[in-house]
Amino acid sequence: MKGSSNPTLAEAIVASPARDSAIQRLREPGALAVTTGQQPGLFTGPLYTIYKALSTAALARILERQWQRPVVPVFWVAGDDHDYSEASQVSWVSSEGAVRTASLPPRLPDAPLTPLYREPLGPAINDILNALETDLPPSEFRDWTTTWLRRHYQPAKTVAGSFAGALAELLAPRGGSLSGEHSRGRQAAGRAISGPGPGPGTAAGQGPGAAGGGSSGGW
């Protein structure tokens, strides 16, 4: 993509310590983005979500060295997804080695298919956080992890909003940024970062726009 001063760019990027730097780098002449994404889930969802995000950040660093131009990893949050039954469950391994599963209350059969960017977590999220904290064995990571999750997964927040905030904070030290929780944010990000690619002879024939990751309900 070309460096862009498109005002929708700032609107599209989720708040995090890396947000301002990512926007500034995306606006530089010749800047590119490596993109991936995933539908929201409790506590950042399945572990492969983290792997996808970290892999994209690593690829961006490699391409930036090879191409000598800014390459920014961008993760889009598919908050328009309405698969609540999938997004409302989480599993972890307890200190005894057992797999624990917890979930938010199910939707009523006649409930509307509310997109996850509008679906509040509700008070049950506190019970799930308490269960996770009780199950995790003592370690140098336990307190940080539970504090980080409690900072984002709160009753008044939405499934997509909490997911976006938690993942944005986690990726910020690696220069990663997230685009919005629903289609308007994704469309704004697409408009802001679209443009001609790096040109012939680079990116193994990548087409116009950003360098792209794989696709699995997202990237």
pLDDT per residue as tens, the chain (219 positions): 444 445 666 677 887 777 888 888 888 999 998 989 999 999 999 999 999 999 999 999 999 999 999 999 988 899 999 999 999 999 999 888 899 999 999 998 888 999 999 999 999 999 999 999 999 988 899 999 999 999 999 999 999 999 999 999 988 887 777 666 655 555 555 555 554 444 433 333 333 334 444 333 333
182-201 b/e with 16+ CB inside 10 Å = b?
Answer: beebbebbbebbebebbeee
Count CB atoms within 10 A of the CB of residue 47: 8
pTM score, two decimals? 0.78
Structure tokens at 29: 């002449």
Q: CB under 8 Å to 39, separation ≥6 — which residues?
A: 45, 77, 78, 79, 81, 83, 86, 87, 116, 217, 218
Structure tokens at 203: 């990116």
Query: Which residue has tokens 């760019």?
Result: 9
Evaluate whether 75 touches 116 at the Cβ level (below 8 Å): no
Evaluate whether 218 touches 40 at the Cβ level (below 8 Å): no
